[in-house]
């Protein structure tokens, strides 16, 4: 069931979204070669807690036998890891890596969810282009995150754009509604036919998240039951925001002040 948020719930969603934005501001300033993904995760968790939120991903249980609850505050995926990489004291971040971080902050009963792919030092032109296309795919999608369109219009816009750039979208995972629960209806694939799916209404809050692979779309799951990698070893990038549907333009709840300023410049 799709939940339509009232004014009070929307304010709580804005607060949770602001926490996530501030976490990414912190991570962008702190990420550097030589640190571990565990250290990066600790920075994110401490920032969330300092802002009165808790990491919703920590302890998340998918209910599959043999797969333990998620052990960390964030998902950190490096290079050919697509999503759900588990932070580790043994995983060192190197110059030239691209690092995707997915964060969900729970504050006052409501969730904010976003993902960013960071560059570490100087990266290749190919890696930078992948990150740029992934981010732009999100903005292509939210052109249709307006009253009167359907979820399929968002999905189609993302998939069509990514494919036009010579990349692949992940088909096994998707965006989703969000609110009091981390994952709510509707599901939001990154591909599909326009004009399909639920009609978009004001008060919906959606986590829209292109997951893009430089090579073929095939993926593999590692033995930890969480980490998803590209089958062909090609790079992957992830960009996500929590979006509020209004009577006009969509409101992005999880962007930093710097990101918003950059948007205005463009």
Residue-wise pLDDT for 187-211, tens only, equals: 999 999 999 999 999 999 999 999 9
- The DSSP call for residue 2 is B
157 is a domain residue: yes
The pTM of this model reads 0.97
123 is a domain residue: yes
C-alpha closest to that of 178 among 7, 23, 10: 10
Quote the tokens at residue 227. 């980490």
Confidence of residue 264 (pLDDT cuts 50, 70, 90): low
Domain harbouring 241, CATH code: 3.90.230.10
Residue-wise pLDDT for 115-135, tens only, equals: 999 999 999 999 999 999 999
CA angle 153, 157, 158 (to 5 degrees): 120
Range of the domain at 92: 7-265
189 is a domain residue: yes
2 is a domain residue: no
Confidence of residue 147 (pLDDT cuts 50, 70, 90): very high
Quote the tokens at residue 148. 């009167």
- Inter-CA distances, 143 with 70, 135, 212, 250, Å: 33, 13, 19, 8
1 is a domain residue: no
How many domains is the chain built from? Answer: 1
């Amino acid at each position: 069931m799709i939940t339509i948020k009232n004014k009070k719930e929307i304010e709580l969603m804005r607060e949770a979204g602001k926490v996530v934005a501030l976490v990414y501001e912190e991570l962008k300033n702190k990420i550097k070669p030589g640190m571990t993904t565990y250290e990066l995760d600790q920075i994110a968790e401490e920032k969330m807690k300092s802002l009165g939120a808790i990491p919703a991903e920590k302890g998340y249980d998918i209910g599959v036998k043999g797969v333990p609850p998620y052990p960390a505050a964030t998902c950190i995926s490096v290079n050919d890891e697509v999503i759900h990489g588990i932070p580790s004291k043994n995983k060192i971040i190197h110059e030239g890596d691209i690092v995707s971080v997915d964060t969900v902050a729970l504050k006052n009963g409501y969730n904010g969810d976003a993902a960013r792919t960071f560059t570490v030092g100087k990266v290749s032109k190919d890696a930078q282009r992948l990150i740029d296309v992934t981010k732009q795919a999100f903005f292509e999608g939210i052109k249709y995150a307006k009253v009167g369109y359907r979820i399929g219009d968002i999905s189609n816009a993302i998939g069509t754009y990514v494919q036009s750039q010579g990349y692949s979208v992940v088909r096994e995972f998707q965006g989703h509604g969000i609110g009091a629960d981390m994952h709510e209806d509707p599901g939001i694939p990154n591909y599909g036919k326009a004009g399909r799916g639920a009609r978009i209404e004001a008060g919906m809050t959606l986590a829209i998240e292109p997951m893009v692979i430089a090579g073929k779309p095939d993926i593999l799951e590692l033995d930890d039951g969480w980490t998803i990698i590209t089958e062909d070893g090609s790079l992957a990038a992830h960009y996500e925001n929590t979006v509020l549907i209004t009577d006009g333009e969509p409101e992005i709840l999880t962007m930093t002040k710097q990101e918003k300023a950059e948007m205005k410049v463009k």
